[in-house]
């Protein structure tokens, strides 16, 4: 990171686009934590926010000649791949329309996906919800990349744990240098918010089962209203700007 970037982080927070604000990433992390708790509690006992586990299972199935299940695993892996492809391909054409950002449109897509999953009957195969979340989480991860110049993942925790350790050491070595301390706190905060989302999902899903996912519409609606206002009013003249990390 160069000196200008550090100065921007410390002295010019208003220069960041709305879709780069830390609280936006925090709400997305809350939703992701809820997705994880939801699928594990009432949709098959698995996590769908990332694909490492599916690739391990694919290797195990291939090694054990379990061809049928190996073939199924190609579906969620492909869904995750397509989420990244679509989110990457759609951003530029949408930008040329000078109407709303891809980031905002994605929140609309995520809300539609949540409504779809919430309306599924309890008898529906769990795989429908699992693959839908694979797809949505891939797009979310690829769309929201940096919160005020701090690289962030909004669908899983591994890198936040790693970055917490890295910047904790840097904070100590630099005797509390401000930008390192801010990064340490940011990653710890994201981890805590993810856990809160998982707790909420676990408790609420016990009572509402599949309808529990409707709870995520609350933070997603807040995000949609805020991002729409930014695109149509507050940042209308900044639609050509590219969010950090893209």
Mean pLDDT by 10 residues, the chain (246 residues): 42 78 97 97 92 93 95 95 94 82 96 98 96 97 94 94 94 89 94 97 97 98 97 91 87
Report how far residue 210's alpha carbon sits from residue 106's, in angstroms, rounded to the nearest whole number: 22
For residue 142, the enclosing domain spans 18-238
Angle at CA of residue 53, ends 205 and 48, nearest 5° = 35
Report how far residue 4's alpha carbon sits from residue 109's, in angstroms, rounded to the nearest whole number: 35
Question: What is the structure's pLDDT at 192?
Answer: 97
- Structural domain count of the chain: 1
Question: What is the structure's pLDDT at 4?
Answer: 42
The answer to whether residue 244 sits within a structural domain is no
Q: Look up the CATH number of the domain holding residue 24.
A: 1.20.1250
Question: What is the structure's pLDDT at 131?
Answer: 96
Query: What's the pTM value of the predicted model, to 2 decimals?
Result: 0.90
The answer to whether residue 64 sits within a structural domain is yes
């Amino acid at each position: 990171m160069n000196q200008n970037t550090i100065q921007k982080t410390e002295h010019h927070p208003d220069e960041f686009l709305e879709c780069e604000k830390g609280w936006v990433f925090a709400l997305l992390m809350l939703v992701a934590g809820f997705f994880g708790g939801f699928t594990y509690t009432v949709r098959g006992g698995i996590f769908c926010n990332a694909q490492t586990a599916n690739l391990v299972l694919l290797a195990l199935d291939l090694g054990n000649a379990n061809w049928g299940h190996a073939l199924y695993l190609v579906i969620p892996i492909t869904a995750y791949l397509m989420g990244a492809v679509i989110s990457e391909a759609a951003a530029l054409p949408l930008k040329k329309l000078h109407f709303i950002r891809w980031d905002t449109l994605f929140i609309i897509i995520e809300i539609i996906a949540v409504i779809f999953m919430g309306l599924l009957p309890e008898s529906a195969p769990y795989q429908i919800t699992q693959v839908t979340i694979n797809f949505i989480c891939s797009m979310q991860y690829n769309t929201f990349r940096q919160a005020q110049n701090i690289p962030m993942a909004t669908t899983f925790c591994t890198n936040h744990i790693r970055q917490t350790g890295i910047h904790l050491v840097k904070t100590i070595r630099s005797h509390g240098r401000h930008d390192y301390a801010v990064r340490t706190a940011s990653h710890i905060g994201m981890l805590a918010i993810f856990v809160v989302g998982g707790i909420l999902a676990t408790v609420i899903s016990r009572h509402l089962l599949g309808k529990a996912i409707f709870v995520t519409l609350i933070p997603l609606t807040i995000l949609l209203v805020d991002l729409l206002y930014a695109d149509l009013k507050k940042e209308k003249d900044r639609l050509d700007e590219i969010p950090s990390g893209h």
